[in-house]
Protein backbone atom coordinates (compact mmCIF):
# COMPACT_ATOMS: atom_id res chain seq x y z
CA UNK A 1 0.00 0.00 0.00
CA UNK A 2 1.31 3.46 -0.89
CA UNK A 3 0.50 6.36 1.37
CA UNK A 4 1.36 10.01 0.93
CA UNK A 5 2.82 11.94 3.78
CA UNK A 6 3.50 15.66 3.98
CA UNK A 7 6.46 17.31 5.68
CA UNK A 8 6.91 21.02 6.24
CA UNK A 9 10.19 22.68 7.07
CA UNK A 10 11.41 26.20 7.41
CA UNK A 11 13.95 27.09 4.77
CA UNK A 12 17.15 28.95 5.47
CA UNK A 13 17.93 30.35 2.06
CA UNK A 14 20.91 32.50 1.16
CA UNK A 15 20.22 36.12 0.21
CA UNK A 16 20.47 35.23 -3.49
CA UNK A 17 18.10 32.29 -3.09
CA UNK A 18 15.67 34.45 -1.16
CA UNK A 19 15.69 37.01 -3.97
CA UNK A 20 15.08 34.23 -6.51
CA UNK A 21 12.18 32.87 -4.47
CA UNK A 22 10.57 36.32 -4.31
CA UNK A 23 11.04 36.54 -8.08
CA UNK A 24 9.62 33.05 -8.76
CA UNK A 25 6.59 33.77 -6.59
CA UNK A 26 6.11 37.06 -8.43
CA UNK A 27 6.31 35.44 -11.88
CA UNK A 28 3.82 32.74 -10.89
CA UNK A 29 1.51 35.41 -9.52
CA UNK A 30 1.84 37.39 -12.76
CA UNK A 31 0.89 34.35 -14.85
CA UNK A 32 -2.12 33.63 -12.63
CA UNK A 33 -3.32 37.23 -12.66
CA UNK A 34 -2.86 37.72 -16.40
CA UNK A 35 -4.75 34.52 -17.22
CA UNK A 36 -7.48 35.44 -14.76
CA UNK A 37 -7.87 38.87 -16.36
CA UNK A 38 -8.03 37.31 -19.85
CA UNK A 39 -10.52 34.70 -18.69
CA UNK A 40 -12.75 37.31 -17.07
CA UNK A 41 -12.65 39.35 -20.24
CA UNK A 42 -13.62 36.32 -22.33
CA UNK A 43 -16.48 35.51 -19.99
CA UNK A 44 -17.75 39.07 -20.21
CA UNK A 45 -17.63 38.93 -23.99
CA UNK A 46 -19.28 35.51 -23.88
CA UNK A 47 -16.57 33.69 -25.79
CA UNK A 48 -15.21 30.27 -24.73
CA UNK A 49 -12.38 30.41 -22.20
CA UNK A 50 -9.02 28.63 -22.47
CA UNK A 51 -8.03 25.58 -20.45
CA UNK A 52 -4.64 24.31 -19.37
CA UNK A 53 -3.18 23.13 -22.68
CA UNK A 54 -4.13 26.28 -24.50
CA UNK A 55 -2.93 28.48 -21.64
CA UNK A 56 0.39 26.67 -21.58
CA UNK A 57 0.79 26.87 -25.35
CA UNK A 58 0.02 30.58 -25.18
CA UNK A 59 2.55 31.15 -22.41
CA UNK A 60 5.30 29.17 -24.11
CA UNK A 61 4.82 30.45 -27.65
CA UNK A 62 3.69 34.01 -27.11
CA UNK A 63 4.42 35.41 -23.66
CA UNK A 64 7.87 33.94 -23.21
CA UNK A 65 8.88 35.07 -26.69
CA UNK A 66 7.49 38.58 -26.38
CA UNK A 67 9.56 41.60 -25.39
CA UNK A 68 7.04 42.50 -22.66
CA UNK A 69 7.02 39.15 -20.90
CA UNK A 70 10.20 37.28 -21.81
CA UNK A 71 11.32 37.70 -18.19
CA UNK A 72 9.05 34.73 -17.49
CA UNK A 73 11.95 32.57 -18.71
CA UNK A 74 13.75 33.38 -15.44
CA UNK A 75 11.28 31.29 -13.44
CA UNK A 76 11.24 27.47 -13.56
CA UNK A 77 8.86 26.38 -16.35
CA UNK A 78 7.49 23.49 -14.32
CA UNK A 79 6.37 25.90 -11.56
CA UNK A 80 4.61 28.16 -14.04
CA UNK A 81 2.90 25.15 -15.57
CA UNK A 82 1.75 24.05 -12.12
CA UNK A 83 0.27 27.50 -11.58
CA UNK A 84 -1.61 27.13 -14.87
CA UNK A 85 -2.85 23.71 -13.75
CA UNK A 86 -4.01 25.18 -10.46
CA UNK A 87 -5.75 27.97 -12.35
CA UNK A 88 -7.41 25.41 -14.66
CA UNK A 89 -8.58 23.46 -11.59
CA UNK A 90 -9.93 26.61 -9.92
CA UNK A 91 -11.92 27.54 -13.04
CA UNK A 92 -13.32 24.02 -13.44
CA UNK A 93 -14.30 23.98 -9.75
CA UNK A 94 -16.07 27.31 -10.05
CA UNK A 95 -18.24 25.98 -12.89
CA UNK A 96 -18.84 22.64 -11.16
CA UNK A 97 -22.47 22.30 -10.12
CA UNK A 98 -21.51 19.81 -7.44
CA UNK A 99 -19.40 22.42 -5.67
CA UNK A 100 -21.82 25.30 -5.10
CA UNK A 101 -19.46 26.97 -2.62
CA UNK A 102 -16.71 27.48 -5.16
CA UNK A 103 -16.46 31.01 -6.48
CA UNK A 104 -14.54 32.68 -9.25
CA UNK A 105 -10.80 32.58 -8.47
CA UNK A 106 -9.30 35.83 -7.23
CA UNK A 107 -6.35 37.92 -8.22
CA UNK A 108 -3.28 37.14 -6.15
CA UNK A 109 -1.73 39.93 -4.15
CA UNK A 110 1.95 40.41 -3.46
CA UNK A 111 2.94 39.02 -0.07
CA UNK A 112 -0.31 37.13 0.45
CA UNK A 113 0.09 33.36 0.20
CA UNK A 114 3.13 33.64 -2.03
CA UNK A 115 3.98 30.15 -3.24
CA UNK A 116 5.12 27.96 -6.13
CA UNK A 117 5.18 24.22 -6.64
CA UNK A 118 7.86 21.92 -8.04
CA UNK A 119 6.17 18.73 -9.26
CA UNK A 120 9.47 16.86 -9.72
CA UNK A 121 13.25 17.06 -9.72
CA UNK A 122 13.77 17.48 -5.99
CA UNK A 123 16.13 15.60 -3.72
CA UNK A 124 17.61 16.00 -0.28
CA UNK A 125 20.79 15.29 1.60
CA UNK A 126 21.20 15.88 5.32
CA UNK A 127 19.63 19.24 6.05
CA UNK A 128 19.73 20.50 2.49
CA UNK A 129 17.12 20.18 -0.19
CA UNK A 130 17.82 20.53 -3.90
CA UNK A 131 15.23 22.56 -5.77
CA UNK A 132 15.33 23.21 -9.54
CA UNK A 133 16.95 26.54 -10.43
CA UNK A 134 17.52 27.36 -6.73
CA UNK A 135 20.13 24.69 -6.06
CA UNK A 136 20.82 23.40 -2.57
CA UNK A 137 18.76 25.22 0.06
CA UNK A 138 19.32 24.68 3.76
CA UNK A 139 16.34 23.86 5.93
CA UNK A 140 15.57 23.35 9.61
CA UNK A 141 15.27 19.62 9.86
CA UNK A 142 12.79 19.19 12.68
CA UNK A 143 12.01 15.57 11.81
CA UNK A 144 13.26 12.94 9.40
CA UNK A 145 12.14 12.92 5.80
CA UNK A 146 11.04 9.80 3.96
CA UNK A 147 13.00 8.56 0.96
CA UNK A 148 10.72 9.09 -2.03
CA UNK A 149 10.09 12.79 -2.61
CA UNK A 150 7.11 13.47 -4.80
CA UNK A 151 6.71 17.24 -4.98
CA UNK A 152 7.70 20.39 -3.11
CA UNK A 153 5.75 23.57 -2.51
CA UNK A 154 7.71 26.63 -1.49
CA UNK A 155 5.66 29.20 0.35
CA UNK A 156 6.10 32.36 2.34
CA UNK A 157 4.59 33.26 5.66
CA UNK A 158 5.56 36.66 6.97
CA UNK A 159 9.32 36.96 6.56
CA UNK A 160 9.99 33.23 6.51
CA UNK A 161 10.02 30.77 3.65
CA UNK A 162 8.86 27.18 4.03
CA UNK A 163 8.95 24.04 1.96
CA UNK A 164 6.14 21.48 2.07
CA UNK A 165 7.30 18.14 0.73
CA UNK A 166 4.99 15.37 -0.32
CA UNK A 167 6.50 11.89 0.04
CA UNK A 168 5.24 8.57 -1.17
CA UNK A 169 5.75 5.73 1.24
CA UNK A 170 5.27 2.07 0.62
CA UNK A 171 3.93 0.46 3.78
CA UNK A 172 2.72 -2.95 4.75
CA UNK A 173 -0.78 -3.03 6.17
CA UNK A 174 -0.21 -3.47 9.86
CA UNK A 175 -2.75 -3.48 12.62
CA UNK A 176 -2.64 -0.88 15.34
CA UNK A 177 -0.16 -1.85 18.06
CA UNK A 178 -2.56 -0.87 20.80
CA UNK A 179 -5.86 -2.56 21.49
CA UNK A 180 -7.54 0.05 23.64
CA UNK A 181 -10.22 2.65 23.00
CA UNK A 182 -10.41 6.18 24.35
CA UNK A 183 -13.08 8.85 24.53
CA UNK A 184 -12.09 12.49 24.10
CA UNK A 185 -14.02 15.48 25.28
CA UNK A 186 -12.93 18.51 23.35
CA UNK A 187 -13.31 21.31 25.85
CA UNK A 188 -12.43 24.93 26.23
CA UNK A 189 -10.38 24.97 29.44
CA UNK A 190 -8.83 21.57 28.74
CA UNK A 191 -8.50 21.16 25.01
CA UNK A 192 -8.74 17.39 25.11
CA UNK A 193 -9.79 15.47 28.21
CA UNK A 194 -9.36 11.72 27.70
CA UNK A 195 -11.32 8.94 29.36
CA UNK A 196 -8.00 7.34 30.39
CA UNK A 197 -7.32 10.35 32.59
CA UNK A 198 -4.85 12.12 30.39
CA UNK A 199 -5.37 15.72 29.46
CA UNK A 200 -3.93 17.87 26.77
CA UNK A 201 -4.07 21.56 27.43
CA UNK A 202 -4.94 23.64 24.42
CA UNK A 203 -2.51 26.12 23.00
CA UNK A 204 -2.92 29.18 25.14
CA UNK A 205 -0.44 30.84 22.84
CA UNK A 206 -3.11 33.08 21.49
CA UNK A 207 -3.89 34.56 24.88
CA UNK A 208 -0.25 35.20 25.65
CA UNK A 209 0.33 36.82 22.31
CA UNK A 210 -3.01 38.55 22.22
CA UNK A 211 -1.73 41.70 23.90
CA UNK A 212 1.27 41.77 21.64
CA UNK A 213 -0.95 41.41 18.63
CA UNK A 214 -3.37 44.09 19.82
CA UNK A 215 -0.53 46.52 20.42
CA UNK A 216 0.99 45.83 17.02
CA UNK A 217 -2.46 46.23 15.44
CA UNK A 218 -2.98 49.61 17.12
CA UNK A 219 0.41 50.82 15.91
CA UNK A 220 -0.50 49.69 12.42
CA UNK A 221 -3.76 51.64 12.50
CA UNK A 222 -1.85 54.82 13.36
CA UNK A 223 0.49 54.60 10.41
CA UNK A 224 -0.17 56.11 7.01
CA UNK A 225 -1.58 53.32 4.88
CA UNK A 226 0.84 51.82 2.34
CA UNK A 227 3.74 53.95 3.64
CA UNK A 228 7.08 52.26 4.33
CA UNK A 229 6.49 52.23 8.06
CA UNK A 230 3.04 50.78 7.53
CA UNK A 231 4.49 47.97 5.40
CA UNK A 232 7.05 47.19 8.10
CA UNK A 233 4.43 47.19 10.83
CA UNK A 234 2.14 45.03 8.73
CA UNK A 235 4.88 42.46 8.41
CA UNK A 236 5.24 42.49 12.20
CA UNK A 237 1.52 41.84 12.65
CA UNK A 238 1.70 38.99 10.16
CA UNK A 239 4.68 37.50 11.94
CA UNK A 240 2.83 37.46 15.27
CA UNK A 241 -0.12 35.80 13.54
CA UNK A 242 2.01 33.09 12.03
CA UNK A 243 3.87 32.56 15.29
CA UNK A 244 0.59 31.94 17.09
CA UNK A 245 -0.55 29.56 14.36
CA UNK A 246 2.70 27.60 14.60
CA UNK A 247 2.61 27.22 18.36
CA UNK A 248 -0.99 26.09 18.18
CA UNK A 249 -0.34 23.59 15.42
CA UNK A 250 2.62 22.19 17.29
CA UNK A 251 0.54 21.55 20.42
CA UNK A 252 -2.18 19.90 18.35
CA UNK A 253 0.37 17.67 16.62
CA UNK A 254 1.92 16.55 19.90
CA UNK A 255 -1.44 15.75 21.46
CA UNK A 256 -2.85 13.95 18.41
CA UNK A 257 0.31 11.87 17.92
CA UNK A 258 0.28 10.83 21.56
CA UNK A 259 -3.38 9.87 21.57
CA UNK A 260 -3.33 7.98 18.29
CA UNK A 261 -0.21 6.03 19.26
CA UNK A 262 -1.83 4.85 22.45
CA UNK A 263 -5.29 3.88 21.27
CA UNK A 264 -6.63 1.82 18.37
CA UNK A 265 -10.00 3.50 18.60
CA UNK A 266 -10.72 7.15 19.32
CA UNK A 267 -14.25 8.33 20.03
CA UNK A 268 -15.20 11.99 19.77
CA UNK A 269 -18.35 14.04 19.72
CA UNK A 270 -19.84 15.27 16.50
CA UNK A 271 -19.65 19.01 16.92
CA UNK A 272 -20.75 21.72 14.55
CA UNK A 273 -17.76 23.96 15.04
CA UNK A 274 -18.72 26.40 12.34
CA UNK A 275 -22.24 26.81 13.68
CA UNK A 276 -21.04 27.33 17.24
CA UNK A 277 -18.64 30.02 16.19
CA UNK A 278 -21.24 31.92 14.19
CA UNK A 279 -24.21 31.84 16.54
CA UNK A 280 -23.24 34.64 18.91
CA UNK A 281 -22.85 37.30 16.26
CA UNK A 282 -26.49 37.39 15.23
CA UNK A 283 -27.06 39.49 12.13
CA UNK A 284 -26.48 43.15 11.47
CA UNK A 285 -29.93 44.29 12.63
CA UNK A 286 -30.46 41.96 15.52
CA UNK A 287 -27.35 41.18 17.51
CA UNK A 288 -27.15 38.08 19.65
CA UNK A 289 -28.12 38.76 23.25
CA UNK A 290 -24.82 38.05 25.02
CA UNK A 291 -22.43 38.65 22.20
CA UNK A 292 -19.52 39.58 24.39
CA UNK A 293 -19.61 36.57 26.69
CA UNK A 294 -20.16 34.15 23.84
CA UNK A 295 -17.60 35.60 21.51
CA UNK A 296 -14.93 35.05 24.18
CA UNK A 297 -15.88 31.40 24.34
CA UNK A 298 -16.05 31.12 20.56
CA UNK A 299 -12.61 32.55 20.22
CA UNK A 300 -11.30 29.90 22.57
CA UNK A 301 -13.05 27.23 20.55
CA UNK A 302 -11.43 28.42 17.38
CA UNK A 303 -8.19 28.92 19.26
CA UNK A 304 -8.07 25.29 20.22
CA UNK A 305 -8.50 24.44 16.57
CA UNK A 306 -10.88 21.58 17.02
CA UNK A 307 -11.49 20.91 13.37
CA UNK A 308 -7.76 20.75 12.78
CA UNK A 309 -7.33 18.47 15.77
CA UNK A 310 -9.98 16.03 14.54
CA UNK A 311 -8.43 15.99 11.08
CA UNK A 312 -5.01 15.21 12.56
CA UNK A 313 -6.40 12.37 14.67
CA UNK A 314 -8.14 10.97 11.61
CA UNK A 315 -5.11 10.81 9.38
CA UNK A 316 -2.78 9.66 12.13
CA UNK A 317 -5.17 6.84 12.93
CA UNK A 318 -5.28 6.00 9.24
CA UNK A 319 -1.49 5.65 9.16
CA UNK A 320 -1.49 3.43 12.22
CA UNK A 321 -4.53 1.45 11.06
CA UNK A 322 -6.60 2.63 13.98
CA UNK A 323 -10.04 4.19 13.80
CA UNK A 324 -11.95 7.34 14.73
CA UNK A 325 -15.61 7.21 15.62
CA UNK A 326 -17.98 10.14 16.07
CA UNK A 327 -20.98 9.99 18.40
CA UNK A 328 -23.87 12.45 18.81
CA UNK A 329 -23.11 15.22 21.28
CA UNK A 330 -26.38 14.98 23.22
CA UNK A 331 -26.21 15.03 27.02
CA UNK A 332 -22.60 13.85 27.35
CA UNK A 333 -21.93 16.73 29.73
CA UNK A 334 -25.01 16.10 31.90
CA UNK A 335 -24.90 12.31 32.21
CA UNK A 336 -23.24 10.66 35.19
CA UNK A 337 -20.56 8.28 33.90
CA UNK A 338 -21.03 6.03 36.98
CA UNK A 339 -24.80 5.56 37.27
CA UNK A 340 -26.10 7.08 34.04
CA UNK A 341 -28.40 9.59 35.74
CA UNK A 342 -28.85 12.45 33.28
CA UNK A 343 -29.99 15.83 34.52
CA UNK A 344 -28.88 19.43 34.05
CA UNK A 345 -28.33 19.85 37.81
CA UNK A 346 -25.42 17.37 37.67
CA UNK A 347 -23.31 20.01 36.02
CA UNK A 348 -22.39 22.41 38.81
CA UNK A 349 -20.21 24.67 36.68
CA UNK A 350 -18.08 24.66 33.55
CA UNK A 351 -15.53 22.41 35.24
CA UNK A 352 -17.39 20.66 38.09
CA UNK A 353 -19.61 17.62 37.76
CA UNK A 354 -21.46 16.07 40.69
CA UNK A 355 -24.22 13.49 40.29
CA UNK A 356 -27.34 14.43 42.25
CA UNK A 357 -28.30 10.74 42.47
CA UNK A 358 -25.11 8.78 43.33
CA UNK A 359 -22.93 11.67 44.42
CA UNK A 360 -20.18 10.76 41.97
CA UNK A 361 -17.98 13.86 41.60
CA UNK A 362 -15.46 14.45 38.89
CA UNK A 363 -14.01 17.06 36.60
CA UNK A 364 -16.81 17.68 34.09
CA UNK A 365 -14.58 17.19 31.05
CA UNK A 366 -13.34 13.74 32.14
CA UNK A 367 -16.86 12.68 33.05
CA UNK A 368 -17.93 13.68 29.54
CA UNK A 369 -14.99 11.82 28.00
CA UNK A 370 -16.12 8.61 29.68
CA UNK A 371 -19.65 9.08 28.39
CA UNK A 372 -18.31 9.66 24.90
CA UNK A 373 -16.31 6.43 25.08
CA UNK A 374 -19.38 4.55 26.29
CA UNK A 375 -21.45 6.01 23.45
CA UNK A 376 -18.75 4.87 21.03
CA UNK A 377 -19.05 1.33 22.38
CA UNK A 378 -22.78 1.47 21.90
CA UNK A 379 -22.35 2.53 18.29
CA UNK A 380 -19.76 -0.14 17.62
CA UNK A 381 -21.31 -2.81 19.80
CA UNK A 382 -20.93 -5.37 17.06
CA UNK A 383 -17.87 -5.95 14.93
CA UNK A 384 -15.03 -4.57 17.00
CA UNK A 385 -14.26 -7.58 19.13
CA UNK A 386 -10.57 -6.87 18.76
CA UNK A 387 -10.81 -3.64 20.65
CA UNK A 388 -10.48 -4.23 24.35
CA UNK A 389 -12.67 -1.79 26.17
CA UNK A 390 -11.73 -0.36 29.48
CA UNK A 391 -12.87 2.93 30.83
CA UNK A 392 -10.69 3.05 33.91
CA UNK A 393 -7.52 2.02 32.27
CA UNK A 394 -4.09 2.93 33.56
CA UNK A 395 -2.14 5.23 31.29
CA UNK A 396 -0.06 3.10 28.94
CA UNK A 397 3.71 3.22 29.10
CA UNK A 398 4.99 5.17 26.13
Interface mask toward Zn ion for 292-331; x: CB under 5 A: ----------------------------------------
**Of 249 and 341, which CB lies nearer to Zn ion in the complex structure?**
341
Interface residue with Zn ion, options 19, 221, 358, 388 (CB under 5 A):
358
**Of 149 and 374, which CB lies nearer to Zn ion in the complex structure?**
374
Q: Give the separation between CA 341 and CA 335, rounded to whole angstroms.
A: 6
Residue range at the interface with Zn ion (CB under 5 A); choices 27-35, 315-323, 327-335, 340-348: 340-348
CB of 362 to Zn ion, least distance (A): 10
Interface residue with Zn ion, options 34, 338, 361, 391 (CB under 5 A):
338
Q: Give the separation between CA 209 and CA 244, rounded to whole angstroms.
A: 7
Residue range at the interface with Zn ion (CB under 5 A); choices 69-77, 108-116, 307-315, 348-356: 348-356
**Of 17 and 337, which CB lies nearer to Zn ion in the complex structure?**
337
Interface residue with Zn ion, options 341, 342, 347, 384 (CB under 5 A):
341
CB of 335 to Zn ion, least distance (A): 9
CB of 337 to Zn ion, least distance (A): 8
**Of 186 and 335, which CB lies nearer to Zn ion in the complex structure?**
335
Q: Give the separation between CA 56 and CA 93, rounded to whole angstroms.
A: 19
Q: Does 212 bind Zn ion (CB under 5 A)?
A: no
Residue range at the interface with Zn ion (CB under 5 A); choices 132-140, 151-159, 276-284, 334-342: 334-342
CB of 360 to Zn ion, least distance (A): 4
Residue range at the interface with Zn ion (CB under 5 A); choices 154-162, 177-185, 190-198, 355-363: 355-363
CB of 340 to Zn ion, least distance (A): 7
CB of 367 to Zn ion, least distance (A): 10
Secondary structure of the chain as H, E, C letters: CEEEEEEEEEEECCHHHHHHHHHHHHHHHHHHHHHHHHHHHHHHCCCCCCCHHHHHHHHHHCHHHCCCCHHHHHCCHHHHHHHHHHHHHHHHHHCCCCCCCCCCCCCCCCCCCCEEEECCCCEEECCEEEECCCEEEEECCCCCCCCEEEEEEEEEECCEEEEEEEEEEECCCCCCCCCEEEEEECCCCCCEEECCCCEECCCCHHHHHHHHHHHHHHHHHHCCCCCHHHHHHHHHHHHHHHHHHHHHHHHHHHHHHHHHHHCCEEEEECCCHHHHHHHCCCCCCCCCCCHHHHHHHHHHHHHHCHHHHHHHHHHHHHHHCCEEEEECCCCCCCECCCCCCECHHHECCCCEEECCCCCCEEEHHHHHHHHHHHHHHHHCCCCCCCCECCCCCCCCCC
**Of 12 and 338, which CB lies nearer to Zn ion in the complex structure?**
338
Interior CA angle at 110 toward 109 and 116, to 5°?
A: 95
Interface residue with Zn ion, options 360, 362, 380, 389 (CB under 5 A):
360
CB of 185 to Zn ion, least distance (A): 17
**Of 260 and 367, which CB lies nearer to Zn ion in the complex structure?**
367
Q: Does 336 bind Zn ion (CB under 5 A)?
A: yes
**Of 146 and 362, which CB lies nearer to Zn ion in the complex structure?**
362
Measured distance between the N- and C-terminal CA atoms of the chain, rounded to whole angstroms? 27
Q: Does 8 bind Zn ion (CB under 5 A)?
A: no
How many residues make contact with Zn ion (CB under 5 A)?
8
Interface residue with Zn ion, options 3, 318, 339, 345 (CB under 5 A):
339
**Of 330 and 339, which CB lies nearer to Zn ion in the complex structure?**
339
Interface residue with Zn ion, options 131, 355, 369, 373 (CB under 5 A):
355
Chain-centroid distance of CA 124 in Å reads 25
Between the alpha carbon of residue 383 and those of residues 321, 380, 386, the distances in Å are 16, 7, 8
CB of 339 to Zn ion, least distance (A): 3
Interior CA angle at 285 toward 279 and 289, to 5°?
A: 45
Catalytic residues: 185, 269, 365
Q: Contact residues for Zn ion (CB under 5 A)? A: 336, 338-339, 341, 355, 357-358, 360
Amino acid sequence: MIIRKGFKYRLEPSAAQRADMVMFAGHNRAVWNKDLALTKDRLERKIPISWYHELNWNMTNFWKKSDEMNWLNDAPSQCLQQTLKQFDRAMRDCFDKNQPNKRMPRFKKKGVKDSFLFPQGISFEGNRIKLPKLGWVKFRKSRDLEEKLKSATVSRNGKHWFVSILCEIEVAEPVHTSNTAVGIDRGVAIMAACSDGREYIGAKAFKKHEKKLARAGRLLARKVKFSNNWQKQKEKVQNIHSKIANIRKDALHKASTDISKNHAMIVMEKLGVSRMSKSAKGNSEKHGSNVKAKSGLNKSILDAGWAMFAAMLEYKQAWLRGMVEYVPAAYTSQRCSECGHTVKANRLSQSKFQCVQCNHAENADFNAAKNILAAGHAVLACGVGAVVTTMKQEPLAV
